[in-house]
Amino acid sequence: MITKAKIVLIEDEKNICSFIERILAPQGYQVTSSATGREGLDLINSLHPDLILLDLGLPDMDGLRIIEQVRTWSAAPIIVVSARTLEKSKVAALDLGADDYITKPFGTAELMARIRTALRHRQNQSAYPSTRYEVEDLVIDFERRLVKMKGQDIHLTQIEYKLVSLLAQNAGRVMTYESIISKIWGPYADNDNQILRVNMAHIRRKLEENPAEPKYIFTEIGVGYRMREE
Ligand code: CA
C-alpha cells in the first residue's frame, strides 16, 4: 500500500475541495488543490503527482481537455470527480485516458476505495501482471486458462474467457464498451454493443447465481462493465 502518495486535486467547489482534503490528509496523502484548470495543469507539471482527482466542470476550461493534455506526457492515474451524471461525459473521460470516475455526492469509503484501486493498478502495471484472480467462490488461473466456481471447472468459449480475463485483470476499474470491444475484437471492429452484451449474458449465466443481481461483474449503465475486486 502506498502512503504519502502525492495527489493533485482540481476542483472549483470549495466545499468539495475541503471535504476531500479532510478525508485524505489523515490517511497520509499529500493533497495540493487548485480551483482552475490552468493552475491544475501547472501543479501536475511541477509536482508529478501519483494521482490526480479532477472535476470536469471548471471555470476556465473543460476537464476533458485536461485529461487529454496530461495523457500526452503522464501516466498518473486520473479519477474524475464530477457532478455530471451524463454517461456520455463519463465515457468520454475514460476513453481519453481517465482511470475511473466517481459521481458527486459520494461517501468517504467510496472515494478511498477508488483511490487505492487506482494506485494499486498503476503499481501492478510496472510489475508482473497477476496470475490469478480469486474473489469469493470465483477463481481464474490466467496461466492455465482455468475458471472455477466453488471448485468446479466452468467451461467458457474462447471469447468468453478473453472477456472474463480482461475484466479480471482490470478488476475494480470500469472498462468502457468501446475499450472492451477494441481489445477483444480489434480496433476496427464494429462498435456495436450487441455482440458484447450477448457474450456477457452467457458469461453471467455461467458465473452468477442470479444473473439479474450479479456478484462478480457489474454493469455501469451506459458506460461499460466493472469486475469486483475484493
Ligand atoms: Ca465544478
pLDDT by residue, tens only, the chain of 230 residues: 445 899 999 999 999 999 999 999 999 999 999 999 999 999 999 999 999 999 999 999 999 999 999 998 888 999 999 887 778 889 999 999 999 999 988 999 999 999 999 998 877 665 566 789 999 999 999 989 999 999 999 999 999 999 999 999 888 889 999 899 988 998 788 777 899 999 999 999 999 999 889 999 999 988 999 999 87
Q: Is the pTM of this model over 0.75?
A: yes
Expressed in angstroms and rounded, the spacing between residue 83 Cα and the centre of ligand 1 is 8
Expressed in angstroms and rounded, the spacing between residue 20 Cα and the centre of ligand 1 is 14
pLDDT given at position 128: 60
Expressed in angstroms and rounded, the spacing between residue 63 Cα and the centre of ligand 1 is 9
Give the residue ranges of DSSP H helices in 48-145. Answer: 63-71, 87-95, 108-126
pLDDT given at position 130: 73
Residue 25: DSSP 8-state = G
Expressed in angstroms and rounded, the spacing between residue 84 Cα and the centre of ligand 1 is 9
Cell of 207: 458465473
Expressed in angstroms and rounded, the spacing between residue 119 Cα and the centre of ligand 1 is 24
Expressed in angstroms and rounded, the spacing between residue 104 Cα and the centre of ligand 1 is 10
Q: What DSSP element (H or E) covers 21?
A: helix 14-24
Expressed in angstroms and rounded, the spacing between residue 58 Cα and the centre of ligand 1 is 5
Expressed in angstroms and rounded, the spacing between residue 229 Cα and the centre of ligand 1 is 30
pLDDT given at position 168: 94
pLDDT given at position 3: 54
Expressed in angstroms and rounded, the spacing between residue 176 Cα and the centre of ligand 1 is 24
Cell of 225: 462493465
pLDDT given at position 228: 95
pLDDT given at position 160: 97
Expressed in angstroms and rounded, the spacing between residue 15 Cα and the centre of ligand 1 is 11
Cα 211–chain centre separation: 22
Give the residue ranges of DSSP H helices in 86-176. Answer: 87-95, 108-126, 158-169
Expressed in angstroms and rounded, the spacing between residue 65 Cα and the centre of ligand 1 is 14
Identify which of 102, 130, 129, 105 has the alpha carbon closest to the alpha carbon of residue 116: 102
Expressed in angstroms and rounded, the spacing between residue 205 Cα and the centre of ligand 1 is 41
- Alpha-carbon span 74 to 127, nearest angstrom: 18
